[in-house]
Amino acid sequence: MLHQLSLRNRRAATAAAGVLALAAVGINTPADAATYGTPTITLSAAYLSGAVGATGDPVVTVTVAQSGADVTALGVAASASSKSSVAGTGDVTVTGTGATRQLAVAAHARGYTDLTIKVTGLGGKTATKTLHYAASAAVQNSADTRYLTGSSDASAAVDVGGGYAVVADDESNTLRLYSRSASGAPVKSWDVGSALGADKEIDIEGATRVGNTIYWTGSLGNNKDGEYKSDRNTVFTTTVTGSGAATQLTVGGSYRKLRDDLVAWDKANGNRYGFAAGTASGQVPKQIDGFNIEGLEFAPGSTTTAYLGFRAPLVPPSEGGKALIVPVTNFDKVAGSGTKAVIGTPIELDLGGLSIRDIRKNAADQYLIVAGSWAADDNSDPYALYSWDGVAGHAPVKRADLPTADPGGWEAVVDVPDLTAPGARAQLITDAGSADLYGDGTEAKDLDHAEWKKSRSVWFTVNS
């Protein structure tokens, strides 16, 4: 019993009890352990798209923290994959050691997987987030391919300097600013619909730049059901300030009767091109005798006369017909201030039975024409790239057949290099809205998440 112990032993027992009491309240544990909070982790995007074999796929920024801990002590890694055949944990790379890290995924196969991203903090505490990942198939020219995410229906593009381009989408009225060298989301966007009084899609299909003014045109045709929608009968301008990532756009003038002017002109000239029939109620625009504009560029040496490049009709409207260009000699005033169009002498070009999908020139009046089918099933139809000097009566020269094995139809050329320079390259962009990118039968334009929608840009050598 305690009262029978010596004084020395009683003191020892009392000290031992005190140590046990202190240990019970944590005094004997590491000084900081009780102060570590649960780590936090956030992703800059919950959805990410990549491609098998891609160069420079989009990345996600991971932000982590833990109260009481130096952020450099936190570890970030993928801890699980719902479908490792698409991308496993070992295919996720995280770089950086600070509060923000960069996460990249290397895809193995087309499809979807959910990746669990875990932060491990001090004291053994963890937290996770899920990254919903979609991978498209490998493509040709992968080293020269970049992906523009956030939209799948790219339809026109204009260079704004500093390695950036403004890209239009024919399924919305939003203009987006993208890096030309890196895959990823737009750095800025502008919805021009409200400024133009357009409630429905303008179906923007063509664009060109003169000085600080970008001119844009809708298709001017009926919709896919053969119905007239007034917003599609729109041409307009935007004013550019700044350049590169600092580019800003402001909506300028507009005009909503160019289609009417073209039909009236054709009627007055004997219905040579069938514009009245091509715009009639029930007429689908993407027919060989339809009415659909997809190219816009100014004539050589001019800042007033613009060429309208037609996807339909062909001339005559039969296999092997020629592509049609109709000049508007006062286009600067038409789009800029709403002046009635003055139509010039039409030009018919032999593009091997193909029509115009885009037309672009450089300061030396060297033109590139993206030629493709008038038909709507254009993801597999032939495409070709032609050069031209812009002069009526001069024949275009075929530069290359464009590859068609990969998803998307060739829709835009961003700018034109010096076509006399050896190894000159041009960047083309696809409209992939009708493509099944991920193998589940869903068209890209109908995907639930904008981050999974994408168009493809590819650099091609046009003078070897």
The pLDDT assigned to 463 comes to 87
User: Contact at 8 Å (CB) between 319 and 365?
Assistant: no
Question: Could you tell me what percent of the chain has a pLDDT over 90?
Answer: 91
Instruction: Provide the token pair at 369.
Output: 């024409």
pTM for the full model? 0.91
Nearest to 134 by CA among 106, 104, 103, 110: 110
Res. 22: pLDDT tops 70: no
Mean predicted confidence (pLDDT) in 182-204:
97
DSSP 403: P
Helix (H) or strand (E) holding 99: none
Q: Amino acid letter at 365?
A: D
pLDDT single digits (tens) 76-109: 999 999 999 999 999 999 999 999 999 999 999 9
Q: What is the DSSP string of 285-349?
A: SSSTTS-EEEEEEEPTT-SS-EEEEEEE--BSSSTTPBEEEEEETTHHHHHHH-PPP-B---EEE
b (16+ CB within 10 A) / e for 389-420: ebeeeeebebbbebebebbbbbbbbbbbbebe
Distance, CA of 230 to CA of 437 (rounded, Å)? 32
Average pLDDT along the chain:
93
Band (pLDDT 50/70/90 cuts) for residue 200 is very high
Contact 94, 64 (CB under 8 A): no
Alpha-carbon Rg for the chain, nearest whole angstrom, is 30
- 8, pLDDT greater than 80: no
pLDDT digits (tens, 9 = 90+) for 397-455: 999 999 999 999 999 999 999 999 999 999 999 999 999 999 999 999 999 999 999 99
pLDDT of residue 21: 37
- The 10s digit of each residue's pLDDT in 243-273 is 999 999 999 999 999 999 999 999 999 999 9
pLDDT of amino acid 50: 98
Chain Cα centroid distance, residue 443: 15
User: What pLDDT was estimated at residue 380?
Assistant: 75
**Confidence category of residue 27, pLDDT binned at 50, 70, 90:** very low
Q: What whole-number distance in Å separates Cα of residue 22 and Cα of residue 55?
A: 59
pLDDT of 139 strictly over 50: yes
